[in-house]
């Protein structure tokens, strides 16, 4: 064999594994994916051409070989034990363990505290990795503790697991024990990809890890994103200067580039264990993977040997569990909740179940697609998950437990054709996941949100009408729709909590002042789904009058700049709801008015294609008002002056922008000049006040 190939293959392997370790263990990629792929393909080609070059620890072995007929049995050289679980979830669990250890070791109260190692209890699948002369030769599951299954092919596909140990003098035999698991982000990503491809998803990361390892087709296993953390040893032969403690062992494994979790401590006595327990409990939900507790171990191996075992459990270790985050229960019913935006969220009513530390009776089903995907029906037995403060959710249905009298599928639109809060129609817009109530301003569930939006600075701009007041006005039944705001007297306002006479007067004045507005603001204030400020402005400019907008069909709306089918549909649906038309009418009756124009269906805006810059303080118009007027006329407002600027509108204390305009010879206008520009007398845009 030409030695050049041999050396090249060895160099490629070393380099690929180095990048692999950086990417999968250190989470710090060293080269672009494409470059990694190139190296990998070169090695693959080399090994294909010279099969004698292939080694059992070549990274090319990670892609998974032929499907297996079954797994061979592996007898463990050293049994894989289980671990006693401390049922007491409070601090006393650690105290009880420490007390037992001290008693077994014959320690008196006056003796010093015991050294412990504390680490996480990973929620995956236990695996024994056997390295001979530093090369991974076998990976086996725990099985019954005596005999497991040979899953070497699948484990090789886990990139975080080294195919050989990084050390100059590997032990003759080193069995590393640890947990194969799936990170939550990998789990979510994998499921999203599966969902997109219409393929089955994983129920939870734990099942994902266990199922992948026991997958007979290693190519499929290779597609599952798995991780690994070591937590102990099996058989060991010929390890020179083998560590004498558990924590030093994990440090040594880490040096050999075996992944070891950083969340581990050593400490003395029960107090150290309790501190670790509480620290991790507080951060459990921020960890990138699921755990079901923490594990305490006597750190010194000589003391571990002295303590020994009871049946299959060591006396020197204990698992201290946290409340489970997933439980089984049954679905008693499915209802919907109408949210502040009108979205109908389906909620499963559950037989009460203790999960994630609290009793849960409701769980979100998110939306119709999620119900369909999980196929949740009334009467089903389901797995509920509650992690941290996140809303409990139904993660999966136990199909084998479905009642024989098959309950029917749940369909939101069929079950709730109208909103349970206000009776308006419920629709599901194309491309949207949520079914929504079209009640908008009228729906009590959406009232507070609608009012706040209506009064907002960029909408009707009613200064002083903030969330505290809106809460009171709605809760006291004083305001049902935004139109009611205009009927509020100063006395009523003054009677509200935290409202002095003066602020009531100010608010009353702000309400009155808000009546004179622009069509764009008014449209925006209505809070039509998918109609933001820019769209509202485009609509106002295009139609010029509210009545034209009200009469517009979807086709008419599609002619407006930037209005697509979804926006058009939202608008038509909003105005098709009689409640909304009623609110609009009442607002106009209350005196809300704006300047109308003929619109630009026939002609472009006066300032179409023109760029203006505003600088300094104008005598009457605020900056926002001037900008709005310019934009309503089709012009653009830019932030800085350039050769492309058509006009600079300058007020008091105009600074460098004015100077720049003079330098470039750009036309300079004052406020009157701007207004003259906007109100030409050629009749192109006939403005009138609509009272």
Q: Which is nearer to ligand IVH, 210 or 566 (CB)?
A: 210
Interaction between residue 121 and ligand IVH (CB under 6 A): yes
**Catalytically annotated residue among 66, 121, 610, 636:** 121
Among 126, 129, 451, 455, binds ligand IVH (CB under 6 A): 126
Q: Which is nearer to ligand IVH, 130 or 164 (CB)?
A: 130
Write the DSSP symbol of residue 371: H
Within the chain, how many helices (H) and strands (E) appear?
26, 27
Interaction between residue 232 and ligand IVH (CB under 6 A): yes
Distance of alpha carbon 325 from alpha carbon 292, whole angstroms: 8
Residue 223 buriedness (CB in 10 A; 0-12 / 13-18 / 19+):
middle
Interaction between residue 175 and ligand IVH (CB under 6 A): no
Give the x-and-dash track for 317-336 against ligand IVH (CB under 6 A): x-------------------
Q: Among candidates 642, 639, 661, which has minimal Cα distance to 650?
A: 661
Q: Are 314 and 321 in contact (CB under 8 A)?
A: no
The nearest distance, CB 124 to ligand IVH, in angstroms, is 7
Interaction between residue 544 and ligand IVH (CB under 6 A): no
- Please choose, out of 45-53, 113-121, 639-647, 668-676, the segment that lies near ligand IVH by the rule CB under 6 A: 113-121
Among 47, 86, 119, 628, binds ligand IVH (CB under 6 A): 119
Among 21, 231, 276, 454, binds ligand IVH (CB under 6 A): 231
Among 295, 429, 504, 567, binds ligand IVH (CB under 6 A): 295
Among 179, 290, 538, 596, binds ligand IVH (CB under 6 A): 179
Q: Which is nearer to ligand IVH, 83 or 378 (CB)?
A: 83
The nearest distance, CB 280 to ligand IVH, in angstroms, is 12
- How many CB atoms within 10 Å of residue 73? 12
Q: Are 234 and 175 in contact (CB under 8 A)?
A: yes
Residue 370, token pair as written in the block: 């999620």
Q: Are 98 and 114 in contact (CB under 8 A)?
A: yes
- Please choose, out of 120-128, 266-274, 335-343, 395-403, the segment that lies near ligand IVH by the rule CB under 6 A: 120-128
First and final C-alpha spacing in the chain: 96
Q: Are 266 and 117 in contact (CB under 8 A)?
A: yes
Alpha helices, DSSP H, located in 384-500: 412-415, 444-455, 467-475, 482-485, 490-494
Residue 294, token pair as written in the block: 């923490």
Residue 164: enclosing H or E segment and its boundaries?
Answer: none
The SS3 of residue 266 is: strand
Write the DSSP symbol of residue 398: -
Residues in a beta bridge with 1: none
Give the x-and-dash track for 139-158 against ligand IVH (CB under 6 A): ---x----------------
The nearest distance, CB 81 to ligand IVH, in angstroms, is 4
- Please choose, out of 79-87, 365-373, 472-480, 577-585, the segment that lies near ligand IVH by the rule CB under 6 A: 79-87
Angle between helices 671-678 and 623-632 (to 10 degrees): 20
Q: In the complex, which residue's CB is closest to ligand IVH?
A: 126
The nearest distance, CB 78 to ligand IVH, in angstroms, is 10
- Please choose, out of 37-45, 81-89, 328-336, 448-456, the segment that lies near ligand IVH by the rule CB under 6 A: 81-89
Distance of alpha carbon 563 from alpha carbon 535, whole angstroms: 7
Residues in 349-368 that interact with ligand IVH by CB under 6 A: none
**121 is a catalytic site residue:** yes
- Please choose, out of 121-129, 187-195, 501-509, 514-522, the segment that lies near ligand IVH by the rule CB under 6 A: 121-129
- How many CB atoms within 10 Å of residue 538? 22
The nearest distance, CB 253 to ligand IVH, in angstroms, is 13
Q: Which is nearer to ligand IVH, 81 or 668 (CB)?
A: 81
Angle ∠(281,286,288) on CA atoms, nearest 5: 115
Distance of alpha carbon 618 from alpha carbon 197, whole angstroms: 58
Interaction between residue 176 and ligand IVH (CB under 6 A): no
The SS3 of residue 390 is: coil
Residues in 11-30 that interact with ligand IVH by CB under 6 A: none
Q: Which is nearer to ligand IVH, 302 or 467 (CB)?
A: 302
The SS3 of residue 590 is: coil
Interaction between residue 250 and ligand IVH (CB under 6 A): no
Q: Which is nearer to ligand IVH, 263 or 533 (CB)?
A: 263
Write the DSSP symbol of residue 367: S
Q: Which is nearer to ligand IVH, 24 or 231 (CB)?
A: 231
Interaction between residue 82 and ligand IVH (CB under 6 A): yes
Among 24, 71, 97, 122, binds ligand IVH (CB under 6 A): 122
Alpha helices, DSSP H, located in 526-655: 533-543, 546-551, 554-558, 565-576, 578-589, 623-632
Residues lying near ligand IVH in the complex (CB under 6 A) are found at: 81-83, 119-122, 126, 142, 179, 231-232, 295, 314, 317
Instruction: Give the catalytic positions in this structure.
Output: 121
């Amino acid at each position: 064999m030409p030695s050049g190939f041999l050396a090249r293959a060895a160099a490629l392997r070393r380099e690929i594994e180095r990048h692999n370790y950086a990417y999968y263990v250190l989470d710090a990629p060293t080269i672009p994916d494409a470059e990694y792929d190139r190296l990998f393909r070169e090695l693959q080609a080399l090994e294909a051409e010279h099969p004698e070059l292939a080694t059992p620890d070549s990274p090319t072995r990670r892609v998974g070989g032929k499907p297996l007929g079954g797994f061979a049995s592996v007898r463990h050289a050293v049994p894989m034990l289980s671990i006693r679980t401390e049922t007491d979830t409070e601090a006393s669990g650690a105290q009880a363990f420490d007390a037992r250890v001290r008693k077994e070791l014959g320690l008196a109260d006056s003796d010093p505290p015991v050294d412990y190692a504390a680490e996480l209890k990973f929620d995956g699948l236990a695996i024994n990795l056997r390295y001979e002369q530093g090369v991974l030769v076998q990976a086996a599951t725990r099985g019954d503790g005596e005999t497991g299954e040979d899953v070497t092919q699948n484990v090789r596909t886990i990139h975080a697991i080294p195919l050989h140990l990084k050390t100059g003098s590997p032990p003759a035999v080193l069995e590393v024990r640890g947990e194969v698991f799936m990170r939550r982000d990998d789990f979510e990503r994998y499921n999203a990809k599966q969902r997109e491809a219409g393929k089955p998803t994983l129920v939870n990361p734990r099942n994902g890890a266990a199922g992948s390892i026991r997958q007979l087709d290693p190519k499929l296993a290779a597609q599952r994103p798995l991780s690994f953390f070591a937590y102990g040893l099996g058989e060991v032969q010929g390890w020179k200067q083998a560590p004498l403690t558990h924590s030093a062992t994990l440090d040594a494994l880490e040096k050999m580039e075996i992944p070891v979790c950083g969340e581990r401590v050593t400490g003395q006595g029960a107090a150290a264990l309790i501190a670790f327990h509480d620290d991790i409990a507080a951060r459990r939900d921020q960890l990138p993977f699921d755990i079901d507790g923490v594990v305490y171990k006597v750190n010194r191996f000589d003391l571990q040997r002295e303590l020994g075992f009871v049946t299959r459990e060591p006396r020197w270790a204990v698992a201290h569990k946290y409340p489970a985050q997933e439980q089984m229960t049954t679905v008693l019913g499915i209802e919907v909740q109408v949210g502040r935006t009108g979205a109908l969220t389906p909620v499963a009513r559950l037989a009460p179940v203790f999960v994630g530390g609290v009793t849960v009776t409701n769980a979100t089903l998110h939306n119709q697609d999620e119900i369909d995907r999980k196929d949740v029906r009334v009467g089903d037995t389901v797995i509920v998950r509650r992690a941290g403060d996140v809303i409990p959710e139904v993660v999966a249905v136990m199909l084998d437990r479905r009642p024989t009298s098959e309950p029917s599928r749940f369909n939101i639109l069929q079950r709730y054709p109208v909103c349970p809060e206000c009776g308006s129609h419920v629709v599901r817009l194309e491309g949207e996941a949520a079914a929504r109530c079209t009640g908008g301003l009228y729906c009590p569930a959406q009232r507070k949100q609608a009012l706040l939006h209506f009064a907002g600075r960029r909408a009707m701009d009613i200064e002083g009408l903030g969330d505290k007041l809106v809460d009171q006005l709605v809760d006291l039944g004083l305001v049902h729709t935004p139109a009611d705001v205009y009927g509020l007297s100063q006395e009523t306002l003054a009677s509200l909590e935290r409202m002095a006479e003066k602020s009531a007067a100010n608010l009353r004045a702000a309400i009155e002042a808000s009546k004179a507005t622009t069509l764009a603001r008014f449209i925006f204030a209505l809070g039509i789904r998918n109609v933001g400020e820019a769209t509202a402005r485009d609509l106002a400019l295009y139609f010029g009058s509210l009545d034209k907008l009200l009469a517009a069909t979807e086709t008419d709306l599609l002619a407006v700049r930037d209005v697509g089918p979804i926006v058009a549909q939202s608008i038509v649906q909003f105005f098709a709801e009689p409640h909304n038309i009623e609110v609009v009418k009442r607002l106009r009756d209350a005196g809300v008015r704006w300047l109308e124009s003929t619109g630009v269906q026939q002609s472009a805006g006066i300032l179409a294609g023109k760029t203006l810059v505003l600088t300094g303080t104008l005598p009457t118009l605020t900056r926002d008002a001037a900008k709005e007027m310019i934009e309503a006329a089709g012009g653009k407002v830019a932030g800085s002056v350039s050769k492309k600027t058509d006009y600079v509108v300058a007020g008091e204390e105009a600074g460098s922008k004015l100077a720049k305009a003079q330098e470039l010879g750009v036309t300079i206008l004052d406020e009157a000049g701007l207004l003259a520009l906007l109100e030409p007398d050629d009749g192109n845009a006939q403005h009138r006040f609509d009272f």
